[in-house]
Amino acid sequence: MKKPIIIAGALVSILIIGAIATFAMFGSNQNTVADNGKSANTSGGSTFVAVDSCEILTQEIVDEALGSGAQKAAATTPTIYSDDLIVSNCIYSKDTDGIGLLIRSAKTMSGASDNKSRFNDQKPDNVETVDNLGDAAYYEPSIGQLNILAGNNWYILTVYEEQLTNTTLEANVEIARKLVLI
């Protein structure tokens, strides 16, 4: 009974560390918001829509993948934002299986440029390129994460069975293709 809790805790920890690392690079211009609404910003002729990860990774998608009864983790980090980006994450688990989605949503051209440059510049050497998914995508097998750049946003998806390291590219891509906006 403790194994599912430990696995869910490990996934939450990985996503929280990712969110903290993401915003450590932005300096002190950070805030948290309690609402999960979408906000739009128009900049330089482009419209940027903040995407909430739990609106994209829906209970319906999770139940289809894990079976009914999957629970959304109560310990997800709140939506975090700066002037240029909003980061949200959503985690579901059932028994020892789970799905987590972290999204870096651009609010401005600067945020979109930051997403694109970090997506490319911080890509590890051992990744597998994934074709026909968003504008660009890669899978990092050592941590089981599928990274997708779609439009101005960066999506990080993890689908696992029994433990975080028990995941496949195929399982991640299957879920990614079901997500709206990717």
pLDDT-derived band of residue 182, with 50, 70 and 90 as boundaries?
A: low
Q: In which element (H, E) is residue 43 found?
A: strand 40-43
Q: Pick the more confident residue, 77 or 59.
A: 59
- Cross-strand bridge partners of residue 104: 87, 154
3-class secondary structure, 178: coil
- DSSP string covering 54-100, please? HHHS-HHHHHHHH-TT-EE-TTPPPEEE-SSEEEEEEEEEETTEEEE
CA distance 2 to 155: 29
Q: What's the chain's average pLDDT?
A: 75
pLDDT of residue 154: 94
121 token code pair:
């510049």
The contacts of residue 121 (CB under 8 Å, 6+ apart) are none
Q: What confidence tens digit (pLDDT) does each residue in 98-145 have?
A: 999 999 999 999 999 999 999 999 899 889 999 999 999 999 998 889
pLDDT-derived band of residue 75, with 50, 70 and 90 as boundaries?
A: low
CA distance 73 to 75: 5
Q: What is the mean pLDDT of residues 80-95?
A: 88
Which ranges of the chain does DSSP label H, i.e. alpha helix?
2-24, 53-56, 59-66, 109-121, 169-176
pLDDT of residue 19: 38
User: In Å, how far from its chain's centre is CA 113?
Assistant: 18
- Cross-strand bridge partners of residue 138: 129, 147
